[in-house]
Chain A
Amino acid sequence: MSTVAARIHAHKRQIVLAHGGGGQMTDELVRDLMLPRLTNDALARLGDAAVLDVGGVQLAFTTDSSVVHPLEFPGGDIGRLAISGAVNDLAVCGAEARWISLGLILEEGLSTEVLRRVVDSIAATAAEAGVEVATGDTKVVARGQADGLYVNTSGIGVVRPGLRLGFEFVQPGDVVLLSGTIADHGMAVMLQREDQSALRSQLESDVAPINRLIRLLIEAAPDVRFMRDPTRGGLAGVLADLAERTGFRVEVDEELIPMRKATLYACEMLGIDPLDVANEGKVLAVVPPEQAEAAVEAMRSHERGREAAAIGRIGEERDGVCVLTTDVGGQRVIQKPYGEQLPRIC
C-alpha cells in the first residue's frame, strides 16, 4: 500500500473527533458504516426527521443527543438545547412537535443542584414549544466514564398536510431565506471555554424552539420548498447540501447574511469562518419568489425572527455549487466544513 493510501486507511480505522462535527466526515461515517447496515426507506432519505405513514397520518420522528460542554452557557444550557434540537428538527420537516422522550446519562458526582436547573430548563423549554416530555430514562455511570451529563431526546410530531418539502421541489428563481443572525450559539459556547471574558459577556447562544416561527413562515409561504436548521456544520453545511442535492447553483450574498458585530469579531479573532459555526435557533428556507416577501415579514413578526432576511436565490446553472458574493464583490465557493475544530458544541 502506498504511503498515501496507508495514511487514509489509518484515519478510517478509528473514530476521531471530527467524525462528530456534522461535516463531511460525519457524512462519510453515516454513508459508509451506518447506512449499509441499517438501511430502509425511512432512513435512506437522511432528513432531519423520518416521515412515517401511520394509518394515513404522517408522523415525523427524530432523535438528537446533546453533549455540550460546559453544561450551562450564556443564553442556554444542555436541557434547553436538547428540547430545542428535537422540536426544531421536527418543525423543519413541516411537523408540529407533540411528544418528546428524555434519556439522561449522569456521571457519578454530578451536583443535584445543576441537575435540578437543567430539568427546570427542560420543563420551561417544553412549555415554550408546546410539547410534552412523554417518557424518559435515567442512567448513572461511574465517575470519569462520562462528563457530567449527556442528554438524548427523541421527538414525535404530526406532519401538516399539503406541504411539499424536499430538495426535489426546489426550482431556479426560488429565494433563500434565513430567520436571523448566524454563529451566535457556537461562538457563545466556544468563548465560554476560552479565556475571552471581555467578548464573552456580549455573546449569547440563540438556542430556542422555533416551531412557532416556522408555523408563521409556512402560513405566509404555503409553497415553501425546503427547510433546514443550520446546526452543526453551520450555514455553510446547509447551503452546500442544498446546492449539491438539488444540482442547482445556489447564489448567496454575504452582505445580506445577518450577523452580530460581537460574533463576527469573535470569529475573526479565533480564525473561524462564521458560516461554519453552529446555530440552535435558526431556520433556512427556500420559497418561491412570489411568497418570499410575505415569508420574511411573517418571520420578522416573531421575536426570534426580527432579523430575518432573504440572503440569496437558486440560480439557473446546474453545477451544484454554492457561490458567495463577498462583501467586497469578489466570489468564492461555500463548502461543507469537513469536521469541527472544537468539539462538543451541542
Chain B
Amino acid sequence: MSTLRQRMSALLAVLNAEADRLDRPVNLMEVCGTHTVAACRSGIHALMPNNVRLLSGPGCPVCVTAQRYIDALVRLGARADVTLATYGDMVRVAGEGGSLELARSNGADVRVVTSTIEAVDIAQREPQRQVVFAAVGFETTAPASAACVLEAQRRGLTNFAILPCHKLVIPAMRTLLDDPQTRIDGFLCPGHVSVVIGSAVYDEIVARYNRPCVVGGFEALQMMESVLALVRQLVAMQGGARARNENLYPQVVRAQGNPHARALIDRVFAPGDSAWRALGVMEDSGLDLREEFADFDAFRRFGIVLGDDREPPGCRCGEVITGRCEPNDCKLFGTVCTPIYPVGPCMVSSEGACQAWFKYRRARMKISAPRREEVTA
C-alpha cells in the first residue's frame, strides 16, 4: 500500500473514532469551490464517517455571479467596437440573453485570458477596440484586477475598462449564518482567499456565531485533517467549549494575509453593495472602483444598468451554493441540466458543485464506500 493511502487510512481511524463521539449528525461547509472539486475528485465523500456531511458553499466565483451581470456582458459583447476579455469559466454561463459562448459564435469578440495583463496587452495592441475585462471572483482574483487597472493607467490606455463584479467572502458567510434555514455546524474556510485576507478575519464568525472555522489546504489528506479538526471542536463543544478559529495551513496562510495584495485591492477598490445569485444584494459584499479610477469603469463608460435576475425555472443552484440542498436533490440535475447543456451556473463552472458532482460522483450513482473495518484496520 502506498504511503498516501496508509496515511489516509490512519487518519480515518482517528476521524471515525472521534465522529463516534458526536451526539448528532453534523454538516460542514467547504466554502471554496476548489475544495468542492478536490473533495469530489479525490473521492473522499466515500471515506467520510456516516454522521459527517460535507456541503458546498458559495465559493465558486461563477456560481455566485448574478445573472444580470452575465446579461450585461452579453449585451456589451454585442457592440461591434467591444472586445470582451474573460476568464474561461465565464464563457459558458447563460443569462437570459444566452452565454458568451453563443455570443462569440454569433460574432462577438470574446477572448479567454489567463491573466489580467493579457487583457491590457490586447488593448494596447488594438487601440481601435474597446477592451473590457470581466472582473469576477473573490479576494483571490481581485488583486489581479486591481493590478490591471493600475497598469492600464500607467500605460495611458483610454480603450481599456473592467466590468467589476468582485465578491467578498465574509459577508456571504455572515448571510448564510443569519438565515435560519441553513444548518451549518462548521466551516472549512477557503484556502486561496485566506492567503489574501488572512485567517484572523474568521475570528468574527467564530465569536459572533460560535461556529468553528478551520483554514486548510487542498490536498485530500489536508482536507480530511481539516474535517478532523472541525469534528474535534464540535465534540469539545458538546462539553461546553467555545468554537475556535484554527489555521492548519500556516505555511501558506498568515493571520494577516498578504499585505501587498490587500493594499492593491484597497488602492483601486472600495467595498460596495453587490448582487449575488441566490443571496440577493448584500451590503458591502462587493468591490466598486474608487472614484479616482472611474475612467476604467465599464459600467460608467457604457452606461450599463443591471436589470433583474430571473432564474431558470426549476434550477436550484441558489440552494446548492447555500448548503440548503445537494446537487442531486435538484430535479434538473443530470437529466435536463448536464455539463453539455448546463441550466445553472453550478453546472457550468469547473468549480461548481453540480459539475463536480456530475463529473465525479454522477447522478444518484452508488459507489460502495470501502467497508469500515477495512478503513479502520
Q: Does A162 contact B (CB under 8 A)?
A: no
Q: Which A residues touch B341, using CB under 8 A?
A: 7-8, 11
Q: A8-B341, A330-B43, A330-B45 are in contact. Are A14 and B105 (CB under 8 A)?
A: yes
A332 touches B98 (CB 8 A): no
CA distance A32 to B53 in the complex (A): 41
Is the beta-carbon distance between A328 and B312 smaller than 8 angstroms? no
Interface string of B152-193 (1 = CB under 8 A from A): 000000000000000000000000000000000000000000
Once bound together, how far apart are the Cα atoms of A73 and B5, in whole Å? 37
**Complex interface bits, A303-328 against B, C-beta within 8 A gives 1, otherwise 0:** 00000000000000001010111111
A338 touches B44 (CB 8 A): no
A332 touches B102 (CB 8 A): no
B102 engages A331 (CB within 8 Å): no
Q: Which of B1-49 contact A (CB under 8 A)?
A: 2, 4-5, 8-9, 40-47
Q: How far is the CB of B5 from chain A (nearest CB, A)?
A: 4
Q: Is B336 an interface residue (CB 8 A)?
A: yes
Report whether B43 and A326 are in contact in the complex, using a CB–CB cutoff of 8 Å. Answer: yes
Is A134's CB within 8 Å of the partner chain B? no
Q: Contact: B46 with A330, CB < 8 Å?
A: yes
- Contact mask for chain B residues 212-244; partner A; CB cutoff 8 A; 1 contact, 0 none: 000000001100100000000000000000000
B43-A2 in contact (CB<8A)? no
| Distance in angstroms between the alpha carbons of A16 and B47 in the assembled complex | 39
B338: CB under 8 A from chain A? Answer: yes
Contact A328 B221 (CB under 8 A): yes
Does B332 sit at the interface, judged by CB under 8 A?
yes
Roughly how many angstroms separate A275 CA and B44 CA in the complex, as a whole number?
18
Across the interface, do A329 and B47 meet the contact criterion of CB distance under 8 Å? yes
Asked if B313 and A328 make an inter-chain contact with CB atoms under 8 angstroms apart, the answer reads no
Residues in A with CB closer than 8 Å to B115 are 195
Give the CA-CA distance A271 to B4 in the complex, in Å.
Answer: 21
- The answer to the question of A4 belonging to the interface, with a C-beta cut-off of 8 Å to chain B, is yes
User: What is the chain A residue whose CB lies nearest that of B358?
Assistant: A335
Find A332's partner among B42, B118, B314 (CB 8 Å cutoff).
B42
Q: Is A24 an interface residue (CB 8 A)?
A: yes
Residues of B within 8 A of A15 (CB): 105
The segment out of B78-86, B262-270, B362-370 that lies at the interface is: B362-370
Contact pick for B114, options A11, A194, A319, A339, CB 8 Å: A194
Contact mask for chain A residues 273-299; partner B; CB cutoff 8 A; 1 contact, 0 none: 100000000000000000000000000
Bound CA–CA A15/B42 (angstroms): 34
Additional pairs, 18, CB under 8 Å, beyond known A25-B340, A329-B47: A4-B312, A4-B314, A8-B336, A24-B339, A255-B5, A270-B114, A273-B41, A319-B365, A325-B43, A326-B41, A327-B5, A328-B4, A330-B43, A330-B44, A331-B43, A333-B365, A333-B367, A335-B362
Chain A contact residues, CB within 8 Å of chain B: 2-4, 7-8, 10-11, 14-18, 24-25, 28, 194-195, 255, 270-271, 273, 319, 321, 323-333, 335, 338-339, 341
- A to B CB contacts below 8 Å, 9 in the list: A328-B4, A329-B4, A329-B47, A330-B45, A331-B46, A331-B370, A333-B365, A338-B339, A339-B340
5 residue pairs, one from A and one from B, having the closest CB atoms: A330-B43, A332-B43, A332-B360, A338-B339, A328-B220
